[in-house]
Structure 1
């Protein structure tokens, strides 16, 4: 499911959310680099929302900027550009699966019974620090300059020691 969401988010951000204006502006014009980074930022935000991992979102922003710059400079074809983007999504998926399996192993270790400790020696556990859930809305500006809500994502809260903490 995560793989489908990463690919779907890529297609959504690379086609309808990019639009002709951004596609042209990131290739030429006085603010070319700004538009390139803006497009890559949209892609990075999508990865961060899908994976609930800001570091993967930042990695996507950097990778997407480099890959699209290579295409703009004529060093890759459109097909190579898209293949490199898909390879990045596969890498993010691999990292997420690794994080999830590490998290599952850590939980198994926590579930193992500890040796009995006399009550006088047992420490009182400290309550974990928790962050509340956050809703992220995605807006796009239409041709008339009006903002339209195109989607949202609820990122669940987490406590210190969780996979994302």
Structure 2
């Protein structure tokens, strides 16, 4: 495990809580970006920042994985635009893969180039049928680790 790995969970949400706790166990430095101070859980303000601008120094290395945990928030487009403007290693949005993610329309409306929109991964994580926050977090973290290690994830192993 190396200290240069940063996991940024966007929006204080039950999945973000698990990502932050378990991500730390997997060697990530963890932080939550939550622009709405009313949504920050009690006892966690040291893990929460309000914007990507507060993370510029940490993101400069290009080793951060950004995971948007709630694709229904009004701030989705602005926060993704801000993440895309920085050298994040990987950016993904949770959501149902059977529907186009609302991030596409939100980013298009903000004038974000198509090539940048295409950098946003969706769906994310391993396909394990996740429903509960902890299951979604496990799937997401396993997918991030597989990607970081150059692996496809899942049970198919090269011969």
TM-score, shorter chain, exceeding 0.5: no
Higher relative contact order (Cα pairs below 8 Å, separated by 6+ residues): 2
Q: Which has the larger share of helix?
A: 1
Q: Is the radius of gyration larger for structure 1 or structure 2?
A: 1
TM range, normalised to the smaller chain? Answer: under 0.3
TM-score by length of 1: 0.25
TM-score by length of 2: 0.26
